[in-house]
Structure 1
Amino acid sequence: MKKKKENEQERAVDVIDFHKREYYLNRECTWLKFNQRVLRESLSKENPLLERLRFIAITCSNLDEFFMIRVAGLKHLLESGIDHHDISGLTPRGQMEAVSCLAHNQIHDIDRCLRLILAELKGEGIHFISPTDLTRQQELWLTEFFEREIYPIVTPMAVDPSHPFPFLASKSLNLAVHLKRHEEEDIRLAILPVPSAILGRLIKLPDTLHFLYLEDVLSYFASRFFTGYEILETTPFRITRDADLDIREDVDDLLTEVEKSLEKRRKGAAVRLEIAKSTSAETRQILQKELELEDGDIYTIQGPLGAAFFSSFANIEGFDHLRYKPFIPRPSIELAARKAPDIWKAIREGDILLHHPFESFHTVEQFIHTAAYDDNVLAIKQTLYRVSSKSPIIAALAAAARNGKQVTVLMEVKARFDEENNILMARLLEEAGCHVIYGILGLKTHSKITMVIRREEDGIRRYCHLATGNYNGSTAKIYTDVGLLTCDNEIGMDGSRFFNFLSGFSDPPVWNKLIVAPLNLRETIMAEIDQEIRHAQNGEKAYIAAKMNSLLDRFLIAKLYEASAAGVKIDLIVRGICVLRPGIKGVSENIHVRSIVGRFLEHSRILYFRNGGKDDVFISSADWMPRNLNNRVELMIPVAGKAHKRRLRAILNTYIKDNKKAYLMRSDGSYVRASCRKGSTPVAAQNFLMETAIKGEVLGQK
């Protein structure tokens, strides 16, 4: 009877079309819903007040990038006239309408949240005021400040037949000024650029905690720029431009091509116009016409435009009680337990798993620094995707080259919004004597690997660091990531093949352990899911847990649906984009999706497959998106040690148990915050991981 039921279940799975469009959500809408979850953190009283303000700033910064890349891409699709449908079946026009509706609502919510927080800041003595609120003495100070600091910098730009509408940089803040001569009827338009990049967005009054927006000050003194004219209206506006790069790969000098494309980015077409709520219909119409925008591209804002600047304001001195209690990452717990005389002996004793930011990224920096000055180290090879401009890793690599070591760095100069910094870093490394390469034609290199080749008594040994996150010490303090230090010989051999594959003319090698996109990463994940399906069909316990940033790949989602329909239990922890729909009867009833939004940005990718109790565990640089699996060089690393498997499984379980910061996804794509039921233990995963690190405990080892 049991066998008959299993056969019926297998036949039912066989006839389901898991690729039906109604089983999928729109990518852009799911991203906007993620950004809404970020914004919701600004309303959580569990977060300190200035951190809540920072969440608003992050929301606004995220939106800027979304419009510069994703909305710009939709506009290109519309202009092309291509009959394209997304994974959920929406046309470009349908996507644009859905995005516009959600984005306009989100802007309204940002305004509302910001008003609430600024009102609470008043209770802490922090006031954002208008020039019209000043006392006589304060007004005299501001006048003198304007004349000394602002007036010499700003150049007004007339708009008339002899002065065409000026090009205004993306994300720059400007004032539209309507004016006329007293004896004339004609109304004229001029533009005043707000020099916030130079002076900052806020002006603090002396001996107070009163702040003025720079655009309000410029508006207040606008008549100083237009002698003989009557000012009728001054209104701030902000333009967001297309920033997607179209880089030709078939060129002799990729760096030069990227630099040319960066110049084009600065002059990209407008995709969004933000205007103050007080803006007149006439000004709105003029700006809309000059920028060639549709009605839906115009966003009316009641508060300050471009509120991302509040992220730096949240660091205001003297208000530590309104921020998170400082957390100092602990040195590597596993490394400290080895008590080895040097890092090489510590790694030879066994692999070391690192969990950032709970454990310090300094361990990784020190690994590379030590290699740079070790006389026994012959060569260092590393991939760099995003790196800090003041990175000690760059300094160590340069020092290694000057010390006579062979240093090979794959610098990904196409890392979006880091292109300029990466070009600068590449040239610094070249000047120091490093061999800098730029990857494979048509692919971005997103993998995270460092290999140190060292001469030892028993011969040459390769030490590797492989990770889910970038070699960036700044973001490593606020992103959660996992890394592995190992001298496993088979991984070392794979590392050599990997760098040869990137830097020379070499057919794809046969790998011992590393799984590489676009060669075999998707296929390996598919095989792991198929393995769980077979276990379920045999009546065994089958389980998958996977943590990632984004889930978009149709083929992997269809395979997860197949697994769910076969009886495999699946827990997904997906921070942002997720077009999979959980809870569909007969399709995804066994899939649960949650998103964690907290103090740190969830960035680690961890995969667990039960495999009949053998536990297949991986860490990876890749999200489950077509671009990562098809168009990027990515790595997935099998974790071999039982202790490390337990630790990573425990990390996943901690996120799955989160009932304080987790959001649970419903089948319609909406999210509801997880609740701590009466009698249950409250669990905030990131807080728990911080507490565990502070105690010096290793998760999963008890």
Structure 2
Amino acid sequence: MLAPPPELPSLPERAAPVAAPPQAAELVPAPSSPPAGPLAFLDRDHSILAFNERVFHWAERSDVPLLERLRYLCIVSSNLDEFFEVRATAHTSAAQNGDTKGAYTGASFEALMAHAQDLVARQYKLYNEALAPALAAHGLRIVSHGVRSAEQRRWVQEYFQREVRPLLVPVGLDPAHPFPLVANKSLNFIVRLKGQDAFGRANEIAIVRVPRALPRVIRMPARVAPAKEQLFVLLSSVIRAHLSDLFPGREVTEFSQFRVTRHSDLAVDEEDVSNLRTALRQGLQQRHFGQAVRLEVSAGCSRFLSDFLQTQFNLPQGALFRVHGPVNLVRLGQMVDLAGNASLLFPPWRAAWPQAMVAGTPVMAQMRERDLLLHHPFESFDAVLAFLREAVNDPDVLVIKQTIYRTGADSELMELLREAVRRGKEVMAVVELKARFDEEANINWAEALEAIGAQVVYGVVGLKTHAKMLLITRREGKSLRRYGHLSTGNYNPRTARLYTDLGLLTCNGDITADMDGVFNHLASQNRPPRLRQLMLAPFHLQQRMLQKIEQVGQAAQAGQHARIVAKMNALTDEALIHALLRAGQQGARIDLIVRGACMLPAQLPGVSENIRVRSVIGRFLEHTRVFYFSAGEEQDLYLSSADWMNRNMLRRVELAWPVHDPELRQRIIDECLVSYLHDEQGAWSQRPDGGYTRPAHPIDGPGAQAALMARYGQGGPMARKRRK
């Protein structure tokens, strides 16, 4: 069982009504003024790297199953790839231009690269000195060329000739064959040659590009492996062993793997294009060839070859990463799937059917009785699919409206929307084409829906539609009734098994009317209606959060109970940070549970003694956004699709909504706030200098996620409650 909530006051028997947010007069609310005295916020980019250090800790933990440790190592590498693709360009450009003033300078570049270099070095050290030997002890080995038996070398040679060699095109560089355009994150080899080519020229540099279609980790057949061992070989090792085969008559004197990371954030001037979908599809073709920001080479790469590559990519020295192993650790994740050793993985988790719902009973009938709360991945996302499936099959359902941000390339949910159109229902899909790295899948779904007659809306020019809502309109007798689902996470069944999120199923008239108003606003782009319950960014979500924080601060100043507990993925909005600091200085107790980047410096004497910041990392990716405010006798609890970031508040369409039902509110407080404030297994506390530390003497017991798994698992109290 989860611990009782001593940190938070009990909710009153009757929830206090939540006042309607004021209608915004302008798009951007005025930010609050900063607290007195100078204050340096924590650096956002270093905070992102610090988050990845916390993830990396799970790869270091001996109590984590071995293949899961390897998976965490790969997750860190994947996160770093995205960090460089999205966040590094300004720093790299500053270093290239010799900038010494402003937010980005050569010095900021050097400091950031030193931080990243240290983390990468620790990754490879852990892999080489701990994970690889431990895997080998369990019979899982990646076999390099130098230790292969004669039989294994013959098999690798056959594999190379059959599967790899036909797809490789080595390019010798000369005036007619300039340095090729190297795609983002692709595997390549640079080779230095001795001797002359077929035309008597001594062009000494060649590039070998490796097609993405080839698997990076290959399992060797059992016939060439010792008993009870699974052997693997890396594609890079296969090619390395047979580089000379690609250059007959010449001698390979030097070579290295290399991989370049490029800026990959699509930039489309929406004001200057007539068709956003077409413009984005064209932009996708160029994404793989943006500005180079990082170069990875093998640790043994010669200075001659690394200098040659740096010149080609115009990269400063700090952007060169020499790695002791494969240049792409992300691809080692394929070994986790190929190994299939269940004893080295987490026990499989099967999400429970939601405790508040009766399986087999119509979802909308249950919603008419009361609001339903879903807590993923502890409770199954199948309940959301059941709700939509029921609506598609119900002849009395007339209209289905849904926002689509990240649903995946293969989605039952999207197929259900298509089936709804075929059954004659009005379907409106707000498809966010600019969802980073999901643009192509979303464009394809938009085209598929449009082709059969659905109304597809691409959101608002200049803003991303990040709100998560599904609205059903049903004829009941002589009237229409709306049924809604609001979520902190995406409509993606796969990530719903990996991310923690909350969803609310409701037919509350005010909330569903607000949802319908927001959908109409997104389609018409008229001014949004006056909302009764929902808070909408970029209009008044930030303003309302600032007001709630200020209200808590005023209560503290008046000697009343004053408490804020907020859980989110990132805290970088300066207006909200200023407001939190001021409320803390007024005496409010503030706990912030921030998974990733946090720019607010906590526990600073005279500035933020009353503010604690903690980050919880676990088996699942923390993704819920919960905001709790207690000011005197008034208590408010909100769920939201938005983090407290400037982009979410002012450059995206986001929603926050209140939870009125006392039982649901207390459940959210217990499961999403109190349990995380008491977690000592996956929690890190922020120090005044911005660093993070784990509890020095953690109390025995499960962390928040493990406790929730125990609560909702087949033998847990919620499972027993469902059986009753």
**Matched AA of 1:314:** V
> Is the CA contact (8 Å cut-off) linking 2:35 and 2:582 kept in structure 1?
yes
1:289 has 2:305 as partner: no
Shift of 1:161: 2.1
CA distance in 1, matches of 2:454, 2:346: 41
- Secondary structure at 1:582's aligned position in 2? coil
What is residue 552 of structure 2 aligned with on the other side? 532
CA distance in 2, matches of 1:193, 1:239: 12
Q: 2:274 aligns with which of 248, 252, 264?
A: 252
What is residue 124 of structure 2 aligned with on the other side? 111
- Secondary structure at 1:316's aligned position in 2? helix
Q: 1:269 aligns with which of 283, 291, 302?
A: 291
What is residue 12 of structure 1 aligned with on the other side? none
Shift of 1:388: 1.6
Q: 2:703 aligns with which of 657, 676, 684?
A: 684
Shift of 1:142: 1.9
> Is the CA contact (8 Å cut-off) linking 1:572 and 1:593 kept in structure 2?
yes
1:213 has 2:226 as partner: no
- Secondary structure at 1:315's aligned position in 2? helix
What is residue 65 of structure 1 aligned with on the other side? 82
> Is the CA contact (8 Å cut-off) linking 1:399 and 1:432 kept in structure 2?
no
CA distance in 1, matches of 2:269, 2:284: 13
1:347 has 2:376 as partner: no
CA distance in 2, matches of 1:83, 1:496: 50
CA distance in 1, matches of 2:169, 2:137: 38
Q: 1:83 to 1:393 in 2, by over 3 A?
A: farther
What is residue 647 of structure 1 aligned with on the other side? 667
Note the 1:293-304 alignment, pairs <5 A: 293-304=315-326
Q: 1:452 to 1:675 in 2, by over 3 A?
A: farther
- Secondary structure at 2:500's aligned position in 1? strand
> Is the CA contact (8 Å cut-off) linking 1:647 and 1:698 kept in structure 2?
no
Q: 2:333 aligns with which of 304, 308, 311?
A: 311
What is residue 204 of structure 2 aligned with on the other side? 188
CA distance in 2, matches of 1:21, 1:388: 45
CA distance in 2, matches of 1:612, 1:451: 35
> Is the CA contact (8 Å cut-off) linking 1:532 and 1:609 kept in structure 2?
yes
1:242 has 2:255 as partner: no
CA distance in 2, matches of 1:606, 1:500: 26
Q: 1:315 to 1:613 in 2, by over 3 A?
A: farther
CA distance in 2, matches of 1:311, 1:613: 51
What is residue 3 of structure 1 aligned with on the other side? none
Q: 1:19 to 1:110 in 2, by over 3 A?
A: farther
What is residue 67 of structure 2 aligned with on the other side? 50
What is residue 108 of structure 2 aligned with on the other side? 95
> Which one is further off, 208-217 or 465-474?
208-217
> Is the CA contact (8 Å cut-off) linking 1:333 and 1:696 kept in structure 2?
no
Q: 2:351 aligns with which of 329, 332, 347?
A: 329
**Matched AA of 1:137:** E
What is residue 10 of structure 1 aligned with on the other side? none
Shift of 1:196: 5.0
Q: 2:153 aligns with which of 116, 124, 139?
A: 139
What is residue 301 of structure 2 aligned with on the other side? 279
CA distance in 2, matches of 1:363, 1:374: 16
CA distance in 1, matches of 2:541, 2:718: 29
CA distance in 1, matches of 2:237, 2:427: 52
CA distance in 1, matches of 2:94, 2:574: 20
Note the 1:108-187 alignment, pairs <5 A: 108-115=121-128, 116-181=130-195, 186=202
- Secondary structure at 1:550's aligned position in 2? coil
Q: 1:18 aligns with which of 32, 35, 55?
A: 35
Q: 1:631 aligns with which of 643, 648, 651?
A: 651
Q: Any stretches of 5+ residues in structure 1 without a counterpart? A: 1-15
Q: 1:608 to 1:84 in 2, by over 3 A?
A: farther
Shift of 1:470: 0.3
Q: 1:19 to 1:506 in 2, by over 3 A?
A: farther
CA distance in 1, matches of 2:289, 2:657: 41
Shift of 1:200: 3.2
- Secondary structure at 2:664's aligned position in 1? helix
What is residue 690 of structure 2 aligned with on the other side? 669
CA distance in 1, matches of 2:683, 2:696: 9
What is residue 500 of structure 1 aligned with on the other side? 520
> Which one is further off, 180-189 or 359-368?
180-189
1:562 has 2:578 as partner: no
CA distance in 2, matches of 1:181, 1:78: 38
Q: 1:232 to 1:329 in 2, by over 3 A?
A: same
- Secondary structure at 1:314's aligned position in 2? helix
Aligned length: 678
- Secondary structure at 2:255's aligned position in 1? strand
**Matched AA of 1:178:** R
Q: Any stretches of 5+ residues in structure 2 without a counterpart? A: 1-32
**Matched AA of 1:273:** L
- Secondary structure at 2:214's aligned position in 1? helix
1:197 has 2:208 as partner: no
What is residue 8 of structure 1 aligned with on the other side? none
Q: 2:537 aligns with which of 491, 510, 517?
A: 517
CA distance in 2, matches of 1:650, 1:84: 47
Q: 1:196 to 1:37 in 2, by over 3 A?
A: same
CA distance in 1, matches of 2:284, 2:340: 39
CA distance in 1, matches of 2:360, 2:496: 25
**Matched AA of 1:146:** F
- Secondary structure at 1:599's aligned position in 2? coil
CA distance in 2, matches of 1:681, 1:227: 64
> Is the CA contact (8 Å cut-off) linking 1:194 and 1:214 kept in structure 2?
no
1:28 has 2:45 as partner: yes
Shift of 1:264: 2.3
- Secondary structure at 1:333's aligned position in 2? coil
> Is the CA contact (8 Å cut-off) linking 1:443 and 1:632 kept in structure 2?
yes
What value does the CA root-mean-square deviation take over the aligned residues? 2.1
- Secondary structure at 1:572's aligned position in 2? strand
Shift of 1:698: 5.5
Shift of 1:97: 2.0
Q: 1:97 to 1:434 in 2, by over 3 A?
A: same
> Is the CA contact (8 Å cut-off) linking 2:408 and 2:438 kept in structure 1?
no
> Is the CA contact (8 Å cut-off) linking 1:660 and 1:676 kept in structure 2?
no
What is residue 657 of structure 1 aligned with on the other side? 678
Q: 2:429 aligns with which of 405, 409, 412?
A: 409
> Is the CA contact (8 Å cut-off) linking 2:140 and 2:339 kept in structure 1?
no
Higher RCO (C-alpha 8 Å, min separation 6): 2
CA deviations over 1:111-149 (Å, ceiling 9, x no partner): 111111011101101111212322222222222221111
CA distance in 2, matches of 1:82, 1:189: 33
**Matched AA of 1:688:** A
**Matched AA of 1:498:** V
